[in-house]
Amino acid sequence: MMQTLTVGLGERSYPIHIGSGLLDHAELLKDHLPRQRAAIVSNTTVAPLYLEKLQNTLRSVGISSTPVILPDGEEYKNADTLNLIYDALLANRCERTTPLIALGGGVIGDMTGYAAATYLRGVPFIQIPTTLLAQVDSSVGGKTGINHPLGKNMIGAFYQPQLVLADTDTLNTLPDNELAAGLAEVIKYGLIRDLPFFEWLEQNLGKLLARDTEALQYAIARSCRNKAEVVAADECERDGRESGGRALLNLGHTFGHAIESGMGYGNWLHGEGVAAGTIMAADLSQRLGWIGAQDVARTRNLFERAGLPTVAPDLGTEKYLDLMGLDKKVEGGKLRFVLLKEIGRAVVYGEVPEGLLRQTLQACVPFDQADGTTSHSTKPASGQVAGYQDRHD
């Protein structure tokens, strides 16, 4: 069964199709490909799995496609790799009417979208997300871009796709840690604006971890509905009120992006950074007196059950403050955090006393207990401080 939602942006509205086997459904793509040509951007992991299937589907309706295959990894989400896309498009004489199709996770989607926004000053763009994270978040809403050595997603554009096609069958080949990373963004929607969904996740997390098709489709559709509503109301994140608009989607991201770039892109998955970052945001919300210890524990418990880290790496307080100073929500030099008033309601807040922030930064990193264990889930050793690569030096 396929579900279709709409991102309501007037003339630029577009459908999100979610369901099993959609990569075989040429009719879903054909309407968006008026010419007989497309370019497909993918990577060395996803292309061997799904490129041929997609190319065959396109061929069945008379569309030829040029593949552009990039190296795989967050560490390649940069200007050099972006240039490889432009090189291939130019070498193959792709035109203004040649759509770019992103086939992959959020890294491919974000980079392809930015290439589509800028190549020949803008070409049509289609998202075919193949990770849970991309199906519930990054493929929807038009944020595109690349990382800069000094900060995550710092270069980019708002550029909406014409179609999002989420084939849930592609999740069958996704590694467990990548599925968990996607769950971090799913849990986010419950925390920021959808308490009944948070409660549903508490009841049904086991089914999602077991990749139950129906449960996954429900969670993806509910996540996309939440995201579509937020994006339709504040497409370019300009709503500066405390009630927050699109900025609310960044719960856990101010801390999470600092973890990602501080640890060296690719060492912590985006969703892992978001998970540990969300616990930091919950801790800070408690220190402000907004939520109770039981709410923090409930939040931590759901992330832990999803197999996500809830303890942040010890970058050092000053390093965190430095990295967070580069957050896109900073206004007039002031950090603005997405914090929880309660489970199911987040706000954007710019008046956090530095002392409380420092307390959170100290409390949420690993500390050794007398028995030699740490108190909560840490990321496996390979991603711990031992693997720290400081790109700022």
Burial of 62 (0-12, 13-18, 19+ CB in 10 A): exposed
Least separation in angstroms between residue 144's CB and ligand NAD is 6
Among residues 244 and 366, whose Cβ is nearest to ligand GLY?
Answer: 244
77 contact choice in ligand NAD, ligand GLY, none (CB below 5 to 8 Å, kind-dependent):
ligand NAD
Least separation in angstroms between residue 383's CB and ligand GLY is 22
The site for ligand NAD (CB under 6 A) is made up of 43, 45-46, 49, 72, 74, 77, 104-108, 110, 130-131, 133-134, 137-138, 141, 143, 153, 170, 173-174, 178, 181, 270-271
Q: Is the dihedral of CA 166, 160, 102, 208 positive or negative?
A: negative
277 contact choice in ligand GLY, ligand NAD, none (CB below 5 to 8 Å, kind-dependent):
none
Give the nearest residue (CB) to ligand GLY. 249
Least separation in angstroms between residue 255's CB and ligand GLY is 15
Give the nearest residue (CB) to ligand NAD. 106
133 contact choice in ligand GLY, ligand NAD, none (CB below 5 to 8 Å, kind-dependent):
ligand NAD
Q: Is the dihedral of CA 237, 199, 210, 376 positive or negative?
A: positive
Distance CA 207, CA 209 (A): 5
Start-to-end CA span in the chain (Å): 51
**Contacts (CB under 6 A) with ligand GLY, residues 241-260:** 246, 249-250
Q: Is the dihedral of CA 368, 371, 377, 378 positive or negative?
A: positive
Among residues 278 and 286, whose Cβ is nearest to ligand GLY?
Answer: 278
Least separation in angstroms between residue 154's CB and ligand NAD is 11
Q: Which two tokens stand for residue 76?
A: 């390649």
250 contact choice in ligand GLY, ligand NAD, none (CB below 5 to 8 Å, kind-dependent):
ligand GLY
Paired with 103 in beta bridges are 128
Q: Is the dihedral of CA 143, 146, 151, 152 positive or negative?
A: positive
Least separation in angstroms between residue 95's CB and ligand NAD is 26
246 contact choice in ligand GLY, ligand NAD, none (CB below 5 to 8 Å, kind-dependent):
ligand GLY
Residues near 312 by beta carbon (within 8 Å), at least 6 away in sequence: 255, 259, 276, 277, 279, 280, 364, 365
| Edge-to-edge strands, sheet with 37-43 | 3-7, 14-19, 163-167, 125-129, 100-104, 37-43, 64-70
For ligand GLY, the binding residue among 72, 110, 137, 327 (CB under 6 A) is 137
Judged by the rule CB under 6 A, the positions of this chain that interact with ligand GLY are: 137, 141, 143, 246, 249-250
